[in-house]
Amino acid sequence: MIWKVFRYELGRNLRRKGYLFTTLGIPLLALLLPLAYQALTSLDVNLGLDAVFQSGDRTAQAAGYVDETGLFTDPGALIRYPDEAAARRAMQAHEVATYYIIPADYVATGDVIQVMPTFSLAAIDDEAIREVILNTLAQNVQPQVVQRLEDPARFTDIKLNQGGAQQAGSFDSSFLLVYVFTLSLLLSVFMTNGYLMQGVIEEKESRVIEILMSTLRPTQLLVGKILAFGTMGLIQMLAWVGGILVLLRLANVLDVISSLAVITVPLDVLPLVLVYFVLAYLFFASAYGILGALSVSMREGPQFAAVFTLPAVIPLWFIALFIENPNAPLAVALSLIPVTAPLAMIERLLMTSVPGWQIALSLVLMVLLIVGMLWLAGRLFRVTTLLSGQLPKLRDLPRLMRG
């Protein structure tokens, strides 16, 4: 019976446009956008050069400069013009695609002006003019020193975890990793459980629930739904995690996202992340199941959902603490308290080696809470369906639970 409910709910809800877009569309966009940007950028640059080629006047040298300081006599790859009028004429004659002006007060200000016929992001390029300037400024300096002047220091953060092993990373990349993972988990859990709650309320509102109750036990209906929406959530998480991993691979080859290349996902903790996702899902599924059972209309359910969602997102408020000191007492406590544990523990798992006993304790506490919540959902689901469209008061709940 559970299987029949599961199949129906899965078949019906997998086709939701919102779900399909967030599950497949977001990772696809995340992958396609950098690729498209990269492709467009190279296309734009090529077009610029093509324009110069077509003019037939110049070939490789596509940019010029005007030096008002009189210092930068070595043109390098650029064409030097005596004044701006000459440079402008050259650009209008398509001899150059763009030109730079080094103002007289350059040494004091460091300002350089680039002039182009029409604004184009792709044409903004300071490499050639930097080379011209550096060639002159560093005439008597060793090339290696020039390199060090350009890039004086590269930092690698070394975090010593509890086992003494070294782990490389930086605050920014860690923040991004933790943020993306926790946000994905939250989004997926709340989205799929939102569907679950909507489904329960729809069955109450349309009164189809009474027909179902004459055939199914309430727990069978609830479990079937929970499994169906859980499967949808799991598919979503896997699609997103897969998307993240592919994106990080692409970071090595795509300049536009090359800054992401420093992020390393600790693959060994991914199974545990999925376990916490499943537990988080089950906790919220039972909570939303209860809210669906108590609500009379689509208006109330989401309003009451804040009672459960606000405490659960507390670890997000302390994300900086989790990154800087994932073993701080508050971080440990939040990762053990069942309501906050899924997010808190995932944040810690991504940042440090969490002691086994803490993981075990948090899992046991979560499982106990989930069993209790599911039992409660089953009790409330049954009796409230039979109430004639009235929202029960808080003091009625013990009576409703007794049936």
Backbone angles phi, psi at 67, to 5 degrees: -105, 105
Among 111, 157, 210, 255, binds other proteins (CB under 8 A): 210
Residue 367 touches other proteins, criterion: CB under 8 A: no
CB 263 within 8 A of CB 176: yes
**Minimum CB distance to other proteins, residue 10 (Å):** 12
Helix or strand (DSSP H, E) at 311: helix 300-312
> Which residues, in sequence order, are CB contacts of 185 under 8 Å at separation 6+?
237, 273, 276, 277, 280, 342, 343, 346
Q: Using the minimum distance from each CB to other proteins, give the nearer residue, 149 or 211.
A: 211
4 belongs to the binding site for other proteins (CB under 8 A):
yes
Are the beta carbons of 112 and 126 closer than 8 angstroms? yes
Mask for 214-233, x = binds other proteins (CB under 8 A): xxx-----------------
Q: Which two tokens stand for residue 89?
A: 């004429």
Report the residue from 168, 207, 249, 313 that binds other proteins according to the rule CB under 8 A: 207
Q: Can you tell me which of 24, 49, 213, 238 binds other proteins, judged by CB under 8 A?
A: 213
Cβ proximity to other proteins: between 8 and 375 the closer is 8
Return the bridge partners of 113, or none.
Answer: 101
Q: Which is nearer to other proteins, 362 or 384 (CB)?
A: 384
Min dist CB 382 to other proteins, Å, is 8
Least Å distance, CB 332 to other proteins, is 46
Q: Of the ranges 181-189, 198-206, 266-274, 324-332, which one interacts with other proteins (CB under 8 A)?
A: 198-206
Q: How far is the CB of 365 from other proteins (least distance, A)?
A: 34
Toward other proteins, which CB reaches closer, 5 or 323? 5
For residues 244 and 180, give the distance between their C-alpha atoms in angstroms, rounded to a whole number.
9
Shortest reach from residue 298's CB to other proteins, in Å: 12
Q: CB under 8 Å, gap of 24 or more: what pairs does 35-41 form?
A: 35/250, 35/254, 37/256, 38/254, 38/255, 38/256, 40/122, 41/122, 41/256
- Tell me the DSSP string of 339-396: TTHHHHHHHHHHHS---HHHHHHHHHHHHHHHHHHHHHHHHHHHHHHHS-S-PPPGGG
Three-class SS state of 320:
helix
Q: How far is the CB of 13 from other proteins (least distance, A)?
A: 11
Would you count residue 390 as binding other proteins (CB under 8 A)? no
Binding site for other proteins (CB under 8 A): 1, 4-5, 8, 12, 202-203, 205-208, 210-216, 386, 388, 399, 403
